[in-house]
Amino acid sequence: MAALVMDSNGIYLDGTFGRGGHSRAILSRLGAAGRLLAVDRDPDAVAAARALAAEDPRFSIHPGRFGTIGEIVAAAGLDGRPLSGILLDLGVSSPQLDAAQRGFSFGAEGPLDMRMDPHSGESAAQWLARADEADIAAILYELGEERFGKRIARAIVAARTAEPITSTTQLAEIVARAVPTREPGKHPATRTFQALRIHLNDELADIRSCLDQVCDLLTVAGRLVVISFHSLEDRIVKRFIRDEAQGPVLPKGLPVRATAVQGRLRALGKPVRPTPSEVAANPRARSAIMRVAERLS
């Protein structure tokens, strides 16, 4: 909040409402003229956000993906006013993990779904039932950084010939039997579930699409704050801020004004990670990393 809210009367966007923890914190720092737009594609999150919108006229919820924030802002009736800040809290939310029926977690028996929006796209069970072994292995390696991806993919294909893979615990057991060694403190299926979730929800493409639009939406001195929980997410954010800070790459010796090569963003401070006390209070924060950037003129 200290990094994000610089203007109490500004317009802010919470790109991932979840259950509104960040949104309520932002609203507590805004004045009467301030405004907050929130985005989420999860129907349960949208329902929770509508309850908040009924309580606070400064707040509005816009169902959809944050990769379309340009369209969302354009349709929000801001009369061309830019945003003072954009917050992205990436990845799955705790309510999604805790609801067994959503299929995000192997901690409890549930249908193998994993979709942020259960009414759109393929479920994990549907995709695993038809995907080629090589495609499964590639997804596990590229999006889960799972070194046993080929072994796990082979086990999944063998298991589905006997019976459909339809539950979270069923998949977790298949993965556990296929993985020869375990990472300390991690369930052997952690990377597999993470990779499938990212793939099914096209999360990395959504991040790239959103970041491509933020500089056009932010006012001068407006803030971009991104909290990542996965190395692939953070790598995208880190490179985006670096490239936007560097500015356009032009041939050496080209006679141009300094303003023509100035970057559109500058990184503020070092990446922020949770303290040991924060991790002790909330173990799910252990892999979080926050990056902050400011819009330049």
In the listed set 168, 200, 232, which residue is the last one of a domain according to the structure? 200
Whether 20 and 159 share a structural domain: no
Question: Residue 231 belongs to a domain with what CATH number?
Answer: 3.40.50.150
Whether 76 and 60 share a structural domain: yes
In the listed set 200, 217, 251, which residue is the last one of a domain according to the structure? 200
Q: One-letter amino acid identity for 212?
A: D
Whether 87 and 218 share a structural domain: yes
Sequence-ordered list of residues with C-beta below 8 angstroms from that of 78, at least 6 positions apart, any chain: 11, 35
Known binding residue 247? Answer is no
Give a yes or no: residue 187 inside a domain: yes
Predicted pLDDT of residue 256: 66
Whether 165 and 213 share a structural domain: no
**Strand (E) or helix (H) holding 220:** strand 218-228
Known binding residue 21? Answer is yes
Whether 274 and 289 share a structural domain: yes
pLDDT for residue 91 is more than 90: no
Mean pLDDT of the chain: 93
How sure is the predictor about 180, in pLDDT bands with cuts at 50, 70 and 90?
confident
Distance CA 188, CA 177 (A): 9
Question: Residue 174 belongs to a domain with what CATH number?
Answer: 1.10.150.170
Give a yes or no: residue 108 inside a domain: no
Cα torsion angle, 184, 186, 191, 194, sign: negative
Phi, psi of 149 (to 5 degrees): -55, -45
Lowest mean pLDDT among 72-76, 215-219, 244-248: 244-248
Known binding residue 263? Answer is no
What's the pLDDT tens digit per position in 13-59? 999 999 999 999 999 999 999 999 999 999 999 999 999 999 999 99
Known binding residue 7? Answer is no
Question: Domain residues for 147?
Answer: 117-200
Structure tokens that stand for 263 in this block: 């970057």
The 8 Å CB, 24+ separation contacts for 239-247 are 240/208, 240/211, 241/265, 241/267, 241/291, 241/293, 242/267, 244/215, 244/293, 245/293
Whether 90 and 234 share a structural domain: yes
| Domains identified in the chain, total number | 2
**Strand (E) or helix (H) holding 224:** strand 218-228
Structure tokens that stand for 200 in this block: 């099914």
Sequence-ordered list of residues with C-beta below 8 angstroms from that of 229, at least 6 positions apart, any chain: 90, 91, 287, 288, 289
Distance CA 107, CA 183 (A): 17
Give a yes or no: residue 162 inside a domain: yes
In the listed set 156, 172, 200, which residue is the last one of a domain according to the structure? 200
Three-class SS of residue 12? Answer: strand
On whether the CB atoms of residues 30 and 58 are closer than 8 A, the answer is yes
Q: Quick one: average pLDDT of 123-140? A: 97
Predicted pLDDT of residue 259: 59
pLDDT for residue 247 is more than 80: no
pLDDT greater at residue 297 or residue 272: 272
Lowest mean pLDDT among 103-107, 195-199, 219-223, 233-237: 103-107
Give a yes or no: residue 244 inside a domain: yes
Predicted pLDDT of residue 269: 94
Percent share of the chain, pLDDT over 70: 97
Whether 23 and 169 share a structural domain: no
Which among 58, 61, 27 has a CA at the least distance from the CA of 44?
Answer: 61
Which among 74, 106, 19 has a CA at the least distance from the CA of 217?
Answer: 74
Give a yes or no: residue 111 inside a domain: no
Give a yes or no: residue 3 inside a domain: no
Predicted pLDDT of residue 258: 59
pLDDT greater at residue 274 or residue 250: 274
pLDDT for residue 96 is more than 70: yes
Known binding residue 262? Answer is no
Known binding residue 96? Answer is yes
Distance CA 195, CA 199 (A): 6
Known binding residue 20? Answer is yes
pLDDT for residue 287 is more than 70: yes
